Every structure is written in C-alpha cells, then in structure tokens.
Amino acid sequence: MLPLVLSSLLLSPAVAAAAQRQRSVISRGDGFLRASINPISGVPALRRRQISEDVENQKTGTRYAIDIGIGTPEQTITLILDTGSPDLWVNPTCETANVPKECGQYPQFDYTKSTSLKTTGFADILSYGKGNASIEYITDTITIGSTKVKDQILGVNFESYDIPLGILGLSPPMDPSDPENYPFLLDTMAAEGIIKSRAFSLDLRSVTEPEGAIIFGGLDTGKFSGSLARLPMLDPSQSPQGFDRYWIVLTGVGLTLPDGTSDKSGTIEVPVFPDSGGTLTRLPTPIFQAFGESFPGAQFDAASGFYIVDCAVGDEAGSVDFYFGSKRIAVPFNDFIWHLADGQSCVLGLLSDDDEPVLGDSFLRAAYVVHDQDNRALHMAQAANCGTNIVSIGSGKNAVPSVTGDCTAAPAPTAVGGGLDATATRQPTNVFTGSSPDATAIGGGPGPAGGRTTASAVGLGPSATPSAKSAAGRTIAVSDIYGTSSTGLKVAVVLVAAVVDKEVLSARFHKR
Ligand SMILES: *[C@@H]1O[C@H](CO)[C@@H](O)[C@H](O)[C@H]1NC(C)=O
C-alpha cells in the first residue's frame, strides 16, 4: 500500500461517513485524564442481532478500542488499546488486514493535512503475536479530550498484515536497554506534566456493559470491589523469554460452580502478563487442562485446540478463578466463554501456551488493573461498577494510593476444596466428537509485541529519502527487507510538513 494511494482513499465519502462515530466520553481532573474504551467487534452479546454486519464482525474477535485525535487540525482516529506492545501507529493496510472490510470502515489519518506533523526519516517493522507493520516515524500532536500531547513520536504505516486498526501501545519497551527506544505516549504525557507519573488504569468491563475506560494518571474506586493488590512486575530476566512486559506471578487457579462449590489448585508460580490486545487467555497446558476438564460440560476439540462448551452455561452463575497471592479475581462464566460466529457454538476463552502465558481480554473483563511503570508494579482488584470516583495517582514510591473499591464484593465461595490439579498434563477425558468449529473465526487482537526491526523510510516528506538512515544509523536497502521487488516502496510522497530538526528528534529518539 502506497502512502500516495492511501491519502487519496481518505477522501472517499464512504470513509468520511464512517468517521461520524460516537465520541468518547472524556474527563479531566488534577493530574488525570479519562477516556472511554469500547469493544468494537465480536462482543458475544451481539449474537442475538441478526444483522449480517454484526455476524461478520463477530468472526474477528473482540478488540478494545480508543478514539484519539491526531494532528492539527485534529483528526479522530480509532486505535486498538494494547498493553502488550509499546508503540503508537496508524493507518493499517486494509487489503492485507485479517478483516479487510471492517478495517476499511474506519477513518485513516491523512498526514498531508496536519500542519503540526514533522517527518523523521526513521522507519521500523513492528512484529506482533499476529501480524506486523512497517512504519515510518513522524512526530505530531495527540489530543485526548481537550488535552494535547505535543511532539509525540508515532508511526504511519505503509505496509501491514493481519491488523485491522492502528495500535496505541502502553507496555514498557521489550528491551529496556535498546538504544532505539524513544519516549512512548505514557513517557511523553508524564514529561509534559499531563500526568504525575507513568501510570494508568484500565477497566475493560464485562460483555454486558460495553463501555470501559482508561484513566491516565488516575484510578476510579467506583469500578472495583475490595482492595487493590500490589503485584510487583517481574524483572525481564525472570520472564520466560527475557522481554520486559507487565509480568506478574499467577499463584493459583480455581473454579467456582453454579451451585457455589469451589475448587482450587495448590500453589503454583506461573509468570503471566495481562495483554488488552490479546483476545484470549493463554496458559500452560496443565492449567488449560485443569480448567477445561473441570468446566461444566466442556469437551476438548483437538482440531481447533479449544474446549467446546454449551453457550447456555454463560447464563449460569459460576466463575473461573485466578489467584495472585491472596487476591482472587473471579471471572464470571459469561465473560470467560467465547461465542463463535455461527451463533450456536461456544468455547472457553482459553488456549494452551507453554512459552508466553497471557491474560487476555477473557480475563481482563473481570479485573481492574492499575499499571505503574515508574514503580514497576500492577495493582489489581475485582472489577465492578457502582459509580464514579476518580482518584489521582501522584508520583514517587507510593504513587498509587492504597484504596479500597466502593463496590460491594460478591460473596466469596464458602468452602474451597483443593482438588484442582494445575501441574500435571493429562489425557483429555471429555472429547468433542462433533464437527469442529472454525478456529480461524477467532481472529482476535494483535497479541503482544514480537520485536522491532529497523527498516528504511519510504519518504513521508521532503526531509526523508527512500534510503534514509535508520534510527540506529544503519542504512538498509528496501530490497533487503522486502525481497526483490521494492519499486512500490520507493515512491516519495511530497507533502506539506515542517522540516524536522533532525538533531532534536534524534535526541528524543535516544532519550527515555
Ligand atoms: C509480515 O507478515 C506477513 C504475513 O504474515 C509475512 O509474509 C511477512 O514476511 C512479515 N514481514 C516481516 C518483516 O516479518
């Protein structure tokens, strides 16, 4: 996809009409900024509507999205909110997206129209659990509500695969010592004094209450019950693959049945990280099986890798339980099971993963999570909804206040047995014999960041040339990255943009 073609597409009336979307609810207080997050597709509740568009969307999996303004004048752009990657970029290539039609419904950022944009000549290829994006970096103003974040470095994509929306990443960089790290959105917000420390809280909400929120620099005691448990982030060296993410330790799992009886595993120590860009939860095989083999009526389907369940179970009380020390997060059955596009079958929102266990949206809908990058800790509580009371997060060691949620906690299970075996792999006892659901129907979000490769800029402006130097100072030919045919990438688009002060930008790139 060429930038030139892209910008002409932006002018089409169909795209402009799609831009007439509901604006986010945004409020601002002393040192905090709240913005709405909306599940944009695949919400199981949509299954009851018989509109073909909804069914189509449902195949793609739930993604949580946020609307922000980019450029001057501000253009409203919808982005996937992703706590599993650090970068902010826009303009996915819809032709090669996993869901091209859905991708095409969202407005793209017309960088030729922003008077505050500066080009850089730097480019990278960002890889995700699913898909990748080749981006060229610019700097521009980001607007959240009426708050302006100035000179934020962000990427404009010129060739992406399997990703239907741009991404707003909020994780720490995978390698903290990488000289190519630059100030990400949270860093800039703190540096510009919009928030007092690099912290935000995330409230994705359950499947029946679509509107969640992100609060930069604050938390909302009206959105959880019980205490906020402080869970230190693991050092990257303690993580399975050595990357810095929001790694914490899962110390037990359990299952509470509709009749109120509850079972729990013995103590385990499994590093996991919450990832709002991951639709499903992925856990080591013994835990995956512990849940699957005990979940009411669940049957293992080897072909798709899922446990298939009766959708009606979602209407029953009962929860899949996660323990972090003494903190229990109970995920209601309804939030944990996934409704497939055929409108009839359901699976557990869980896959086995022995390499990089992830707590995806099927977990996060039940958790209220405060992410404190400055102090390298998460604070987690059981999500609930009983009003709004936003409290600022300050700075320093105890920046996140130790507060208790305003909501009434659901009663804890009375008797908890210790019969759930989360350490041994086993032969599945309940095996599905019907015809397999289409596993590819669960598109899901991008998953966690997989890495960053330096690329050549395509030339978004007069200061960049097709063979521009990378951020690392290397010069890589386009053909080195894309194979033999590179003609399409060498088109330099001339646009009206301020000529960047390379020295200033370079300093920004290397300073964190
Ligand atoms: C990006 O993804 C596409 C499609 O999966 C793949 O063909 C391509 O090699 C990937 N590019 C990079 C640089 O990883």
pLDDT tens-place string over residues 286-340:
999 999 999 999 999 998 899 999 999 989 999 999 999 999 999 999 989 887 7
Residue 147 counted as domain residue = no
Q: Which atom of ligand 1 is nearest to the CA of 127?
A: 14
Q: What's the pLDDT band for 87 if we cut at 50, 70, 90? A: very high
Q: What does pLDDT average to over the chain?
A: 79
Lookup: tokens for 27: 């409020």
CA of 468 to the centre of ligand 1 (A): 22
Q: Which of 49, 51, 58 is nearest to 342 (CA)?
A: 58
Residue 94 confidence (pLDDT): 93
Residue 185 counted as domain residue = no
Contact 467, 475 (CB under 8 A): yes
**Running DSSP on this structure, what letter comes out for residue 236?**
G
- SS3 call for 63: coil
Q: What's the pLDDT band for 210 if we cut at 50, 70, 90? A: low
Helix (H) or strand (E) holding 370: strand 367-372
Contact 334, 208 (CB under 8 A): yes
Lookup: tokens for 210: 């679509």
Active site residues: 82, 275
* Cα–Cα distance measured from residue 512 to residue 509, given in angstroms and rounded to the nearest whole number: 8
Q: Which of 305, 261, 263 is nearest to 283 (CA)?
A: 305
CA of 446 to the centre of ligand 1 (A): 14
Q: How far apart are the first and last CA of the chain?
A: 32
- Does 236 sit behind a cis peptide bond, omega within 30 degrees of 0 on the bond before it? no
Residue 466 counted as domain residue = no
* Cα–Cα distance measured from residue 334 to residue 362, given in angstroms and rounded to the nearest whole number: 9
Residue 470 counted as domain residue = no
Contact 324, 421 (CB under 8 A): no
* Cα–Cα distance measured from residue 328 to residue 318, given in angstroms and rounded to the nearest whole number: 14
Query: Poorest-confidence range of 377-391, 402-416, 447-461?
Result: 447-461
Q: What's the pLDDT band for 115 if we cut at 50, 70, 90? A: very high
- Which residue ranges have their beta carbon within 6 Å of ligand 1? 125, 127, 132, 161
Q: Which atom of ligand 1 is nearest to the CA of 125?
A: 13
Q: What's the pLDDT band for 188 if we cut at 50, 70, 90? A: very high
Average pLDDT over residues 428-442: 76
* Cα–Cα distance measured from residue 120 to residue 101, given in angstroms and rounded to the nearest whole number: 31
Atom 3 in ligand 1: residue holding the nearest Cα:
161
Residue 135 confidence (pLDDT): 94
Q: Which atom of ligand 1 is nearest to the CA of 131?
A: 2
* Cα–Cα distance measured from residue 134 to residue 126, given in angstroms and rounded to the nearest whole number: 6
Q: Which atom of ligand 1 is nearest to the CA of 134?
A: 13
Sign of CA dihedral 295, 296, 302, 305: negative
Query: Poorest-confidence range of 17-31, 255-269, 355-369?
Result: 17-31
Residue 455 confidence (pLDDT): 79
Model-level pTM? 0.82
CA of 355 to the centre of ligand 1 (A): 21
CA of 98 to the centre of ligand 1 (A): 13
In which residue are the tokens 């050595």 written?
242
Residue 271 counted as domain residue = yes
- Give me the CATH number covering residue 425: 2.40.70.10
Average pLDDT over residues 107-125: 92
Lookup: tokens for 184: 């990400």
Q: What's the pLDDT band for 173 if we cut at 50, 70, 90? A: very high
Average pLDDT over residues 236-252: 93
Contact 379, 372 (CB under 8 A): yes
Q: Which atom of ligand 1 is nearest to the CA of 96?
A: 4
Lookup: tokens for 264: 């729990």
Contacts of 43 (CB under 8 A, 6+ apart): 58, 62, 207, 210
Give the number of domains in the chain: 1
Residue 315 backbone dihedrals phi, psi, to 5 degrees: -85, -5
Best mutation site among 1, 157, 161 for ligand 1, i.e. most ligand atoms within 8 A of its Cβ?
Answer: 161
Q: How many CA atoms lie within 13 A of 201 on its CB side?
A: 30
Best mutation site among 93, 125, 126, 132 for ligand 1, i.e. most ligand atoms within 8 A of its Cβ?
Answer: 132
Amino acid, single-letter form, for residue 512:
R
Residue 51 confidence (pLDDT): 25
Q: Which atom of ligand 1 is nearest to the CA of 482?
A: 13
Average pLDDT over residues 77-95: 94
Residue 5 confidence (pLDDT): 29
Question: Hey, which residues does 346 pair with through a beta bridge?
Answer: 309, 339
Atom 13 in ligand 1: residue holding the nearest Cα:
125
**Running DSSP on this structure, what letter comes out for residue 404?**
B
Atom 7 in ligand 1: residue holding the nearest Cα:
161
**Running DSSP on this structure, what letter comes out for residue 238?**
G
CA of 133 to the centre of ligand 1 (A): 8
pLDDT: which is higher, 5 or 188? 188
Asked if the model's pLDDT at residue 39 lies above 90, the reply is no
Provide the percentage of residues in the chain whose pLDDT is more than 70.
Answer: 77
Contacts of 29 (CB under 8 A, 6+ apart): 218, 390, 392
Q: What's the pLDDT band for 502 if we cut at 50, 70, 90? A: very low
pLDDT: which is higher, 228 or 211? 228
Contact 445, 166 (CB under 8 A): no
Residue 43 counted as domain residue = no
Residue 126 counted as domain residue = no
pLDDT: which is higher, 495 or 461? 461
CA of 228 to the centre of ligand 1 (A): 40
Residue 512 counted as domain residue = no
CA of 204 to the centre of ligand 1 (A): 30
Q: Find the domain containing 242 and state its range.
A: 219-442
Atom 11 in ligand 1: residue holding the nearest Cα:
132
